[in-house]
Amino acid sequence: MSRRVSDLFIKAIIYLATGITLSVLIFIIGFIFVKGIGLINWDFLSRDFNDSVAYAFVESSDVPLSIDQNTLNDKIPYDNRYETALTKPSYVKNIGAAIAQVTFKNHSTEKQQFVITYIEADSPLLKAVDSNGTKLKVGTDYVIESINGNDFTDMSLAEVVSTIGNQSGKLKIKIVQPGGGIKSNIITTLYMVLLSLVIALPLGIFGAIYLTEYAKPGKMVNVIRFAAECLAGIPSIIFGLFGMAFFVVALNFQISLISGSLTVAIILLPVIIRSTEEALKTVPMIFREGSLALGATKLQTIFKVVLPCAVPGIATAVLLSIGRVVGESAALLLTAGTAAQIPGTLFSPGSTLTVQAYYVAKEEGNIELACAIGIVIIVIVIVLNILSRIASDKLDVFNKK
């Protein structure tokens, strides 16, 4: 009887622990989604974080309004979470667009601005070019700040409409594409994943091959394994300090994409080495013996027999590495920087999604935006993991039917 009670008690503890774990996980993911899902839209994914300022050159042309005023009033392309209309939109014939005065307010800024709410199909704005003659996109919810040197600061909507309406010929309009997006952070994160894996995977796999296939058991192998295990447990901020001191300062790579990638590659090495080593050990010894008996060299046996059979384990290393790269922030703060821009070269700084989430949460106090970034991070990790799993299944020759 007591044994049965003991078994039931232990079983209840197991179920309780499992339930608590799942509940915590669901609560965390649910909280992130509830807080951030309202900010997810195409503009959020396709725009940069910072506002983009440009000068649009257009030829003024009178374009009549093709819709009635009530329909025009219903055009609200701006974000109601941050922008509040102060006036109804006014149509300006010589640029073929309607403008409204709004108050923009977020966690750190409050200002008044003039937003394009509607553009006619024949509007000159749709033919705008920059100073180099390159076609420039102008859309609704873009902000107009000046025209032909006339700044709109402290003007009313009536004064702005009058100022624009009095201009003719070639117009030089200062426009601002609103930021608030994470396009550059998504691209920087993908760059970081790709570069760090390109660096770390070959080194880690070759290191595992040496430990498994060539190294003789002894103190040296034990020291190498112990060192790899120690590296796996070191906080990433230590790697970040090393990366800043060595790659950024000593090698003069500056705070850049390459400095961040090299630093993260070092962080990944222990994970890749240990996972690959364990995968190689699962390949039956008879496979090696059979290959050698057929006249293959040791190197041919490793690359033609052993490695293909170990693909699932190597894929596990890749999956763990992807999650580590996407989730890394401390080391990248010190080596890749916080600039919300797409790195133009390997030596340009860039901010990954996790670094950007830290920045908006800590510096701006914008928890909703940080949670929205968190949702994107979760989706990217899931997608990359699925792609890695599909690739490993395609390459898995050991379990192919």
Same domain, 132 and 248: no
Number of structural domains, the chain? Answer: 3
The verdict on 319 and 231 lying in the same domain is yes
Dig out the tokens for 205 from the structure: 């796999």
Q: Where are the alpha helices (DSSP H) in 244-310?
A: 257-281, 285-293, 298-301, 307-309
Q: What is the pLDDT of residue 335?
A: 95
Q: What is the pLDDT of residue 398?
A: 55
* Cα–Cα distance, 180 to 177 (Å, whole number): 10
3-state secondary structure of 111: strand
Q: How far apart are CA 273 and CA 270, in angstroms?
A: 5
151 and 225, same domain (yes or no): no
Q: What's the confidence (pLDDT) of residue 123?
A: 92
Residue 400, in any domain of the structure: no
Tell me the C-alpha distance between 134 and 35, whole Å. 40
Q: What was the pLDDT predicted at 79?
A: 66
Residues 160 and 24 in one domain: no
Examine the domain organization and report whether 163 and 273 are in the same domain: no
Task: List per-residue pLDDT tens for the chain, 401 residues long.
Answer: 577 888 888 889 999 999 999 999 899 989 999 988 988 888 888 888 888 899 999 999 999 999 888 888 888 776 666 677 888 899 999 999 999 998 887 666 778 899 999 999 999 999 999 988 899 988 888 999 999 989 998 899 999 999 999 998 999 999 998 888 899 999 999 999 999 999 999 999 998 898 888 888 778 878 888 888 888 788 889 999 999 999 999 999 999 999 999 999 999 998 888 888 888 888 888 988 898 888 888 889 988 888 888 888 888 788 888 888 888 888 999 999 988 889 989 999 999 999 999 988 888 788 888 999 999 998 888 888 787 777 767 766 555 55
- Domain assignment of residue 46, yes or no: no
CB 213 within 8 A of CB 310: no
- Which bin fits 267, alpha (ψ -120 to 50), beta or left (φ > 0)? alpha
Position 44 in a domain: no
Among the candidates 138, 156, 177, a domain finishes at 177
Domain annotation covers residue 151? yes
* CATH for 297: 1.10.3720.10
Q: Of 322, 284, 69, which is closest to residue 189 (Cα–Cα)?
A: 322
Q: Do 326 and 246 share a structural domain?
A: yes
- The 8-class DSSP code of residue 150 comes to E
Residue 148 is part of which domain span? Answer: 51-177
Residue 206 shares a structural domain with residue 186? yes
Residues 16 and 142 in one domain: no
Residue 270 counted as domain residue? yes
- DSSP letter at 246 equals I
- Is 219 within the bounds of a domain? yes
Q: Do 289 and 241 have their domain in common? A: yes
Q: Give pLDDT, residue 218.
A: 77
Res 146: pLDDT: 93
